[in-house]
Amino acid sequence: MEQVAIASGHEDHGTVTGVANTKLAMWMFLASDCLFFGAFISAYLLYHGRAGQAGPKPKDVYSIPFTSVTSFILLMSSLTMVLALAAIQRGDYRRLRVWLMATALFGATFIAGQIYEFTEFYRHGLSLSTNLFGSTFFVLTGLHGMHVTAGIIWLLTMWGMAMQGRLTTADSERIEVAGLYWHFVDVVWIVIFTVVYLVPK
Amino acid sequence: MTTVAVPGKVRPAGLLRRPTATRGFWSWFTTVDHKKIAIMYGVTALLFFVIAGIEALFIRLQLLSPNGTILTAARYNEFFTMHGTTMVFLVGMPMAVAFGNYLIPLMIGARDVAFPRLNAFGYWVVLFGGLFLYSSFVLGGAPNGGWFGYTPLTSTPMSGGFLPGHGPDFWAVGLILMGIGSTTSAINFIVTILNLRAPGMSLMRMPVFVWMMLVVAFLTLFAIPPVTAALIMVFFDRNYLTNFFVGGKGGDPLLYQHLFWIFGHPEVYILILPGMGIVSEILPVFSRKPLFGYSVVIFSGIAIGFLGWGVWAHHMFATGLGPVAITAFGLSTMLIAVPTGVKIFNWLGTVWGGSLRLKTPMLFALGFIAMFTIGGLSGVTHSIVPADTQQTDTYYIVAHFHYVLFGGLIFAVIGGIYYWFPKMYGRYMNDKLGKFNFWTLLIGFNLTFFPMHFLGLWGMPRRTYYYPKGYGWETMNLLATIGGFIIAFSTLLFIVNILTSRYRGELAPDDPWDGRTLEWTIPSPPPEYNFAEIPIVHERDDFWHRKYTEDDQGRLVRIPSGGAIDTPAATTTGGGGHEDGNDEGHGIHMPSPSYFPFVLALGLPLLGYAAVFKDPWILAPLGVIVLLFGMYAWALEPGSE
Amino acid sequence: MTDVQVPEADHELPLLPGEVKPHPSPFAYVIIAVILCVITALEVALSYTDLADGVMIALLLTMAAIKFFLVASWFMHLRTDAPVFRRFFILGIVAAIILFSIAMSTLHIFSP
């Protein structure tokens, strides 16, 4: 059958591996993003607890209860995201809009929590330049926050398109690909929350 | 399948009808055709090759004699930094992507890459990244910390540190931008190669070049993130006083070197594997023999791809890593010579006993084998740690990498251009001029770089703007400078050959070299849609086997009606009945041109300038707006209309 | 992996392109989310206890790994999709872990 070299996700029946081009592309990107975050997490771990650092230490500024709540919210946003996908696959466009907006709102709440946390830390004397902890913590979580923000914009765009009736079951893959990105961002936070906030010393 | 109401009719701000031109000057800005994008990559790479070459000539003039006064120390630092940075990121990588872009779809029997607009975007990002980088010369000073930008030299604060000003910031941000382009190309190539192959084109029937590009794409995908991280850390240390590499606060400059070289070593394989792929295509055709050990060559390429991740700290032997680390990396470095050597033997095996036609492409391919082998031999000497401790930061290293990258990659690239030019333009490049080009380049190149082995072993250090009298380095430096100008002359010949052949070259048929692979089955130059009908592939070198069979004595026998490619019996289906004027009635539906790759790419240097000049009020919002506009408009327009 | 009977598949939907098994049902997703919450609560509680550092780190990392695995397998559909996706993702993760472990070990991250 005639092979069309366009990748809109609908023609994945014509792809050699049988998987859609966009989905494969997103997984490639996520695999590479593992190395990106891995570098910053490694830098954090390398410098974590190094002797002789002046300025606030993690114990001095962390509020584990607060961060647990924001982490929980981000985790739940993954649930709402995958429910949005299930909804569009079923053709339930009302639930699609509800779950997309829920995901975006949870994400935005997480970011709001991050911003609050950053300002609190700053008030306690921790900035980018204070010590190794400040540098590695703010850059790592800041970059993660930027990824989440990009995701929120993406989700709101999808929601907007859904509101205009432009998304049908045929577009499930767009939601799926957005979802993959969103889950990845959540999964990175799972690692960060444990490794940066909870692990002792 | 239900059809969604076409969103393409909605235009942001009501402007911009979809561009439709596929010919003409402005069509280049909106093209999504892999062949045109490839040409843009190639032209850009050649232009930057000339620029970086001129930078090198200045370096050679400065070093012509002791205590040179052509360049000040500050200028010298800029020139060697920009020469290296340009050659790696604006010549080597874009040239590889140029070849990949032009050839991959043709060699696998596809009409285009998987993501045509993303393809165009990748090009514009690289171009804008290069322009951004070079704008530094007039915006406060070019990067001057070496192409690898070691910390803490580059990471001390931009005011009051070792390298004040914006130079290293342009470098860091420029490389991040180019990395974005490279990553999108890598993703595009991987998906294209995995998903868009013609029926019957299994992975082990693909041309070696395509395999090498697949490995390169994976290397790129995984190597760029660590260096992006490193560059972000440098930028933050310089501009926001973070402590990633601040020794006084407990930071470790070696963290940078690790992150950089985790990228940097795979990077050199990203640079050379395409060249190896090109040579693997040229040698069989001009020997009239199949590639010796096809599977082995491919598996060696994959092995190099894997092992290449395990050798990076051989760039750090002199940094005090400790005996365990340097032993491990010394051994892994020795090991990686093996698959490389295997390839060299396979190439020799291809040529051996072949019916050789020593046309220009073949000369460059043979030159590649010789020059790359020399470079590889010096490389193996670096793997011996005590020896490397002496060699590092001397001209011996400079000799090594120029032999493998110039004598290797560039020779392969030039040969490849001579080889595929007839396909691209329907005209041969002038072969006599080509041979003259080859010999002058070979002589000039060796005259320039061979003396550097001696200079290095005699102790001449790299990246030093002068050398004093009395070390006995004068003669070799003189030879190197003369060689440099011979290279310049040869490059001029090459460019003249391209330009004159483009318009007045001898006309070439579709299959000018009696080729083996699918690109030679289509017209020269190829139509926009590449294949009138997607071929069905039955074996490796399918085209060759349609043209030739072997008689009882193993001699080639031409099949009289051979050369016609098998195509599906069914008539081609038109897609939606759209006729772009170029499909000649085949009803083939190609992706439509688009403004938005260009527009989206424009947002990135704006953000780059915002970052370098710390402008949150004008440049940053402008960049974000352009970015978002480009993204939305792109997302809302369909792939084709 | 767990003893909870997680509903496997949404049988009304045919296999979508790229799937090798039917994807999980919404109910399954909710169960997974509940498990994730429970593990998170355990992690947080654990961080407040007085266990030896080494033990605590091992337990916390294990729990994080389980959460990672759950999200990747169920929410990101790696368990029901074609294997190519999980292979590439694992490749990226493993590459990151190995490369950075080697680099950091030369910088004495593992020694006191």
Interior/surface letters C4-40, b for 16+ CB within 10 angstroms, e for the rest:
eebeeebeeeeebbbbeebbbbbebbebbbebbeebb
Residues 6+ away with beta carbon under 8 Å from C73: C79
| pLDDT at position B3 over 90 | no
Please provide the DSSP assignment of B548-578 as one string: EEE-TTS-EEE-TTTTPPP--SSPPPPSTT-
- The answer to whether the beta carbons of residues A3 and B572 sit under 8 Å apart is no
Residues C60, C87, single domain; the answer is no
- Would the CB atoms of C99 and B262 count as touching at under 8 Å? yes
Query: What is the pLDDT averaged over residues A4-15?
Result: 45
Question: Which among C92, C104, C107 has the least Cβ separation from residue B222?
Answer: C92
Same domain, C42 and C92: no
Q: Is some CB atom of chain A closer than 8 A to the CB atom of C112?
A: no
Residue of C nearest to B253 (CA): C107
What distance in Å separates the CA atoms of residue C23 and residue A82, rounded to the nearest whole number?
11
Residue C8 located in a structural domain: no
- Set of chain B residues whose Cβ sits within 8 Å of the Cβ of A52: 250
What does the pLDDT average to over B575-585? 41
> Is the pLDDT reported for residue B529 higher than 80?
yes
Residue C13: predicted pLDDT: 55
Q: Is residue B2 part of a domain?
A: no
Given a cut of 90, is residue C29 above it in pLDDT? yes
So what's the pLDDT on residue B584?
Answer: 54
- Residue B102, token pair as written in the block: 């032009």
| pLDDT 10s digits, A63-116 | 999 999 999 999 999 999 999 999 999 999 999 999 999 999 999 999 999 999
C95 shares a domain with C75: no
Q: And the tokens for B154?
A: 């580059």
Q: What is the CATH number of the domain that holds B103?
A: 1.20.210.10
> CA of B397: how far to CAs of A159, B209, B332, B392, B402, in Å?
56, 28, 19, 6, 9
Q: In this predicted structure, what is the pLDDT of residue A122?
A: 96
The strand ranges marked E within B203-352 are: none
Do C102 and C58 lie in one domain? The reply is no
Nearest alpha-carbon partner for B98 in B181, B194, B201 = B181
The answer to whether B427 and B506 have CB atoms below 8 angstroms apart is yes
Name the residue of chain B whose CA is nearest to C101's CA.
B258
A163 touches chain B (CB under 8 A): no
Q: Would you call A32 and B5 a contact, using CB atoms and an 8 Å cutoff?
A: no
Tell whether C86 and C76 lie within a shared domain: no
> How many helices and strands (H and E) does chain B possess?
19, 2
pLDDT tens sequence across B89-142 = 999 999 999 999 999 999 999 999 999 999 999 999 999 999 999 999 999 999
Test the C interface: residue of B194, B221, B258 with most C CBs within 10 Å? B258
Residue type, B454: F
- Report in angstroms the alpha-carbon separations of B28 from A7, A60, B20, B584: 22, 58, 11, 21
Q: What is the pLDDT of residues B600-613, one digit of tens each?
A: 999 999 999 999 99
To test the contact with chain A by mutation, choose from B10, B220, B243, B518 the residue with the greatest count of A C-beta atoms within 10 A, namely: B243
Which residues, including other chains, have CB under 8 Å from residue B424's CB and lie 6 or more apart? B35, B39, B102, B524, B525
Do B465 and B71 form a contact (C-beta atoms < 8 A)?
yes
Note whether B258 contacts C: Cβ–Cβ < 8 A.
yes
Query: Which pLDDT score is estimated for B13?
Result: 43
The minimum CA-CA distance between A9 and chain B, rounded to whole Å, is 10
Chain A: list its partners (3+ Cβ pairs within 8 Å).
Answer: B, C
- Among B209, B213, B216, CA closest to B270: B216
Using the Cβ of C52 and the Cβ atoms of chain A, whether some distance falls under 8 Å is answered with: no
CB B368, CB B408: distance < 8 Å: yes
Q: How far is A77 from chain B (nearest CA, A)?
A: 24
Q: Any idea how long chain A is?
A: 201
- Domain range for C65: 22-81
Of the candidates B363, B241, B621, the one whose C-alpha atom is nearest the C-alpha of residue A132 is: B241
Helix (H, G, I), strand (E, B) or coil at B280: helix
Q: How many domains does chain C have?
A: 2
Judge: B221–A3 Cβ closer than 8 Å, yes or no. Answer: no
Q: Which residues of C touch A78 (CB under 8 A)?
A: 33, 71, 75
Distance separating alpha carbons of residues B433 and B444, to the nearest angstrom? 16
Q: Decide if pLDDT at B12 tops 70.
A: no
> By the CB < 8 Å criterion, does A32 face chain B?
yes
Shortest alpha-carbon distance between residue C109 and chain B (Å):
11
ipTM: 0.93
Residue B606, C-beta contacts closer than 8 angstroms, at least 6 positions apart:
B619, B622, B623, B626
Whether B641 is covered by a domain: the verdict is no
| Residue B509 is assigned to a structural domain of this protein | yes
Please, which pLDDT band fits residue B569 given cuts at 50, 70 and 90? Answer: very low
DSSP, collapsed to helix, strand or coil, labels residue B461 as strand
SS3 assignment, position B512: coil
Q: Could you tell me which chain B residue has the CA closest to the CA of C106?
A: B321
Residue A16's pLDDT is what?
87
Q: Are residues C50 and C100 in the same domain?
A: no
A149–chain C nearest CA distance, Å: 20
Flag whether C15 is in a domain: no
Alpha helices in B395-473 (DSSP H): 395-404, 411-425, 431-457
| pLDDT digits 0-9 by tens, B465-496 | 999 999 999 999 999 999 999 999 999 999 99
CA distances from B333 to A85, B273, B388, B483 (A): 48, 17, 12, 31
Query: Which residue range is the domain that position B221 belongs to?
Result: 7-568+576-636
Q: Compute how many other C-beta atoms are within 10 angstroms of the C-beta atom of residue A3.
A: 21
pTM (2 d.p.): 0.93
| CA quadruple A13, A17, A22, A23: dihedral, nearest 10 | 110
Q: How many Å apart are CA A28 and CA A31, to the nearest integer?
A: 5
Determine, for residues A42 and C100 on separate chains, whether the beta-carbon distance falls below 8 Å: yes
Among candidates C92, C104, C106 on the partner chain, residue whose Cβ is nearest the Cβ of B313: C106
Residues whose CB falls within 8 Å of the CB of residue B324, separated by 6 or more in sequence, listed in order: none
User: Does the beta-carbon distance from A64 to C63 stay under 8 Å?
Assistant: no
C:14-43 residues touching chain A, CB 8 A cutoff: 16-18, 23, 25-26, 29-30, 32-33, 36-37, 40, 43
pLDDT at B586: 65
Q: Which of B517, B375, B543 is CA-nearest to residue B452?
A: B375
Closest Cβ–Cβ partner in A35, A72, A197 for C95 = A35
Nearest Cβ partner for B251 among A39, A132, A167: A132
Rounded to an integer, the average pLDDT of C72-92 is 94
Domains contained in chain A, CATH given: 30-198 (1.20.120.80)
pLDDT, position C80: 92
Beta-carbon separation of B190 and A28 below 8 A:
yes
**3 state DSSP class of B587:** coil
Cβ pair B225:A39 closer than 8 A? yes
Closest-CA distance of chain A to residue B105, Å: 10
The end-to-end CA distance of chain C, in Å, is 35
Closest partner CB to C109 (pick from A39, A46, A78): A46
> Is residue B402 pLDDT above 70, yes or no?
yes
Give percent above pLDDT 70 in chain B.
93
Alpha-carbon distance of A22 to A26, in angstroms, equals 6
Q: What is the DSSP letter of C81?
A: B
Question: Mean of the per-residue pLDDT values for chain B?
Answer: 92
Same domain, yes or no: C69 and C93: no
So what's the pLDDT on residue B563? 61
Shortest Cα distance from C6 to chain A (angstroms)? 15
State how far the Cα of B451 lies from the Cα of B125, in Å rounded to an integer: 38
CA distances (Å), origin B244, targets A122, A143, B229, B472: 19, 15, 11, 42
Cβ contact C76–A183 (<8 Å): yes
pLDDT of B526 > 90? The answer is yes
Chain B CB contacts of A170 under 8 Å are 1-4
Phi and psi dihedrals of B550, rounded to 5? Answer: -115, 145
pLDDT digits (tens, 9 = 90+) for A135-180: 999 999 999 999 999 999 999 999 999 999 989 998 999 999 999 9
pLDDT digits (tens, 9 = 90+) for B136-170: 999 999 999 999 999 999 999 999 899 999 999 99
Q: C109: distance to nearest CA of chain A, Å?
A: 5
pLDDT in tens, B420-472: 999 999 999 999 999 999 999 999 999 999 999 999 999 999 999 999 999 99
Would you say the C-alpha torsion C59, C64, C67, C72 has a positive or negative sign? negative
From chain C residues 71-100, the ones with a CB under 8 A of any chain A CB are: 71-72, 74-77, 81-82, 84-85, 88-89, 91-93, 95-97, 99-100
Contact C106 B325 (CB under 8 A): yes
The chains in contact with chain C, meaning 3 or more Cβ pairs closer than 8 Å, are A, B
Where residue B416 falls among pLDDT bands split at 50, 70, 90?
very high
For C96, nearest residue in chain B (alpha carbons): B222
- Same domain assignment for residues C63 and C93: no
> Is C10 contained in some domain?
no
% of chain A beyond a pLDDT of 90: 83
Sort out which chain C residues have CB atoms less than 8 A from B258's CB and list them.
Answer: 103-104, 106-107
- Token digits of residue A102: 């829920």
Give the pLDDT score at C19.
Answer: 81
Q: What does the DSSP 8-state code read for residue B136? A: G
pLDDT surpasses 80 at C5: no
C-alpha B345: how far from chain center = 24
Rg, chain B, Cα only: 25
Nearest CB neighbour to B4, from listed A52, A136, A171 = A171
Interface size between A and B, measured as CB pairs under 8 A: 150
Residues of chain A positioned with their CB less than 8 A from the CB of B255: 43, 46
From the list C101, C83, C76, the residue with the least C-alpha distance to A188 is C76
Q: Which amino acid is at B494?
A: F
The answer to whether residue B545 sits within a structural domain is yes
Token pair 């400078």 is at which residue?
Answer: B481
In a domain, C91, yes or no: yes
Q: Are B566 and B535 in contact (CB under 8 A)?
A: yes
Lowest mean pLDDT among A6-15, A132-141, B32-41, C18-27: A6-15
Say whether A68 and C109 touch across the interface (CB within 8 A).
no
Say whether C92 and B226 touch across the interface (CB within 8 A): no
Distance CA B308, CA B318 (A): 20
| pLDDT at site C14 | 63
| C7 neighbors C31 (Cβ within 8 angstroms) | yes
State residue A5's pLDDT score.
Answer: 36
Looking at the complex, report in whole angstroms how far the Cα of residue B364 sits from the nearest Cα belonging to chain A.
Answer: 34
8 A C-beta contact, residue B441 and residue B414:
yes
B-C CB pairs within 8 A amount to 22
Residues 6+ away with beta carbon under 8 Å from B617: none
- The C-alpha torsion from B257 through B263 and B267 to B268, rounded to 10°, is 40
Distance (Å) from the alpha carbon of B519 to chain A's nearest alpha carbon: 17
Residues 6+ apart with CB under 8 A from A35: B222, B225, B226, C92, C95, C96, C99
Residue of C nearest to B221 (CA): C92
Closest-CA residue of A relative to B533 is A2
Residue C111 near chain B (CB below 8 Å): no
- Average pLDDT of span B177-187: 97
**What's the whole-number mean pLDDT along residues B540-553?**
89
Tokens for A39? 């570098």
Q: Does A172 touch chain B (CB under 8 A)?
A: no
Q: Tell me how far apart the alpha carbons of residues A104 and A199 are, in angstroms, rounded to a whole number.
A: 29
The model's confidence at residue B556, banded by pLDDT at 50, 70 and 90, is confident
Number of structural domains found in chain B: 1
Give me the pLDDT at residue C50, please. 87
Give the gap in angstroms from C-alpha A74 to the nearest C-alpha of chain B: 24
Residues C65 and C26 in one domain: yes
